[in-house]
Amino acid sequence: NAGVTQTPKFQVLKTGQSMTLQCAQDMNHNSMYWYRQDPGMGLRLIYYSASEGTTDKGEVPNGYNVSRLNKREFSLRLESAAPSQTSVYFCASTPGGGGNTEAFFGQGTRLTVV
Amino acid sequence: QQQVKQSPQSLIVQKGGISIINCAYENTAFDYFPWYQQFPGKGPALLIAIRPDVSEKKEGRFTISFNKSAKQFSLHIMDSQPGDSATYFCAVRNTGGFKTIFGAGTRLFVKA
């Protein structure tokens, strides 16, 4: 019963490097999300995908791109990493929009940009 | 623009005591009010949630109190245990939408 799986769990990047964070869910959920968690800031939405084939900006999208590869997978790409992107990144999924919809989270990716 | 304000930032409670965490929101379109619990190194997980048509929901030692007119809701943890030590996030979700907006979090420590 995997739920939401994120890779990698830890990553150190140099400023200007690029990388892609991978996320996959096995719950047949329609909607997927990327959040970043910073101390004292809670969880802030970067991008989300309401359904396969659609993506939309969240609260803090600058410096990121996303791809909804299929219903299961939703990746987050940093094209040119900056120290301000040092954070813990969480992928989440929900069955769909609206109503009482519990979000299921992955274990997180701890990213450090030096 | 902070749509959800959570307090306190941190909380220390004696074992057996009551932990109370508060949240206030701005937008009356929200229709789902969950609380998430997060242990170190883990992702958040749903603890308990309430809809705006009820004023209180209880699940075991955890209770949500909801005040629609004041746009506030709170989490009460009765008989707090060291295993409850975690970070708690309140959240709101907008009607028919896809975005869950989280509070800044409260770090709870229950002393044995």
* B32 reaches A (C-beta below 8 A): yes
Mean pLDDT computed over B48-72: 94
Indicate yes or no: CB of A40 within 8 angstroms of CB of B9: yes
Q: What is the mean pLDDT of residues A50-58?
A: 93
Q: Cβ of A103 and B100 within 8 Å?
A: yes
Task: Find out whether B68 and B95 touch, Cβ atoms under 8 Å.
Answer: no
Amino acid residing at B68: K
A39 confidence band (pLDDT: 50, 70, 90): confident
The pLDDT of residue B52: 86
What pLDDT, in 10s, does the model give residues A65-114? 999 999 999 999 999 999 999 999 999 999 876 556 789 999 999 999 99
- Tell me, what's the pLDDT at A2? 79
**Residue A49 and residue A68 in contact, taking contact as beta carbons nearer than 8 Å:** yes
